């Protein structure tokens, strides 16, 4: 009886071992690091992105983690084991970070400063729209509706088209708040990176950075496929919001010149 049980136990242990072995051999585990305040909405978006990346990862044997650090930890933190850095910091901290980590994708989730785009920092990936993109979107809209007081946004919780409804619903279900521009940017940065890892199995920061800058076709749930300009700015539609309602999406049809996403914001680097 005892012998039988021991054999049974041994058999089950070996089965477990066998399973873990095969699983371990194929799993890719990668981590992001977020730099910023822990109560910033950009972090909620990044967390949403990680959750969704892991949902995808379960089918591909990939696992995604997110580390959160404060800007005051930058000097002492070892960034070498992270595939990308997500930031919700001020412009000086961002510049410092991107210079400190020249081969690592450093995502800007919050700053709309135009110089940050035209200075063309090689590894800076600006997911949030620039000031000029938003201004151009408003200008296009005003040509059609001179009376409007619309403001320009990357995202809106009432956005429903292009499966935006689904993303808003998922986000609210998890975080119990509505998705704003910064949380969309946090989500988008993680999603485009995890999509890259899913497609390429890359875990090397430099290779991921190169793929993001040159081969990306990202579905940001705003209808168009998105990629980065030479300036490191993500091409994307801009939502125009008036009285808390979406009134239009830029580029505005019939007004935008060229009639593409490149009618919004600076296209080239400052010489």
Partner 1 sequence: MKLYLAPLLLLFTFNATAAELTGRIFVTNERSNTVSVISSSTLDVEATIDIGERPRGIGLSPDGSELYVAVSEENKIKVVDPSSLKILREFDAGSDPETFAVHPNGNIYISNEDDAKASVFNPKTGEQVAAIQVGLEPEGVAISPDGKRVIVTSESTNMLHVIKAPENIIESNILVGSRPRAATFTQAGNIAYATAEISGEVVKVDVDSGKILKIGSTGDSKSKPKDVVLSKDESTIYVAGGRANKVVVMDADTLEIIKGIPVGKRVWGLAISKDGKRIFTTDGVSGTVSVIDTEQNEVIKTINVGEFPWGVIIND
Distance CA 221, CA 164 (A): 5
Considering only residues 69, 198, 247, 255, which one is a binding residue for partner 1 as defined by CB under 8 A? Answer: 198
Q: Where does this chain touch partner 1 (CB under 8 A) — which range of 35-43, 55-63, 131-139, 145-153? A: 55-63
Residues 220-249 that bind partner 1 (CB under 8 A): 221, 224-225
Distance CA 60, CA 115 (A): 39
Considering only residues 4, 21, 39, 59, which one is a binding residue for partner 1 as defined by CB under 8 A? Answer: 59
Closest distance between partner 1 and the C-beta of residue 143, in Å? 22
Q: Of the candidates 119, 88, 125, 90, which has an alpha carbon nearest to the alpha carbon of residue 104?
A: 125
Closest distance between partner 1 and the C-beta of residue 97, in Å? 29
Closer residue to partner 1, CB minimum distance, 114 or 219: 219
Considering only residues 131, 139, 170, 207, which one is a binding residue for partner 1 as defined by CB under 8 A? Answer: 170
Distance CA 182, CA 131 (A): 14
Phi first, then psi: give them for residue 28, nearest 5 degrees. Answer: -105, 125
Applying CB under 8 A, the residues found at the interface with partner 1 are 52, 55-56, 59-60, 163, 166-167, 169-170, 195, 198-199, 217-219, 221, 224-225
């Amino acid at each position: 009886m005892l012998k039988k049980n021991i054999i049974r136990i041994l058999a089950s242990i070996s089965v477990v071992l066998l399973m873990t072995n095969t699983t371990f051999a194929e799993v890719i585990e990668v981590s992001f690091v977020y730099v910023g305040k822990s109560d910033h909405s950009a972090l909620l978006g990044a967390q949403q992105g990680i959750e969704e990346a892991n949902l995808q990862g379960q089918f591909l044997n990939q696992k995604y983690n997110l580390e959160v650090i404060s800007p005051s930890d930058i000097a002492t933190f070892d960034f070498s084991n992270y595939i990308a850095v997500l930031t919700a910091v001020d412009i000086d901290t961002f510049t410092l970070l991107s210079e400190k980590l020249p081969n690592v994708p450093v995502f800007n989730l919050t700053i709309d400063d135009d110089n940050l785009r035209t200075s063309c920092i090689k590894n800076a990936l600006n997911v949030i729209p620039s000031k000029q993109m938003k201004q151009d979107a408003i200008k296009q809209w005003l040509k059609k509706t001179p009376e409007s007081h619309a403001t320009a946004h990357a995202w809106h919780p009432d956005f429903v088209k292009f499966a935006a409804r689904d993303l808003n619903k998922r986000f609210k279900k998890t975080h119990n708040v509505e998705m704003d521009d910064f949380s969309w940017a946090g989500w988008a940065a993680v999603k485009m990176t995890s999509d890259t890892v899913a497609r390429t199995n890359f875990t090397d920061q430099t290779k991921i950075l190169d793929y993001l800058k040159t081969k990306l076709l990202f579905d940001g749930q705003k209808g168009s496929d998105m990629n980065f300009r030479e300036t490191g700015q993500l091409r994307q539609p801009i939502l125009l919001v008036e009285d808390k309602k979406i009134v239009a999406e830029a580029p505005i049809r019939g007004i935008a010149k060229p009639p593409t996403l490149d009618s919004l914001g600076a296209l080239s680097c400052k010489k």
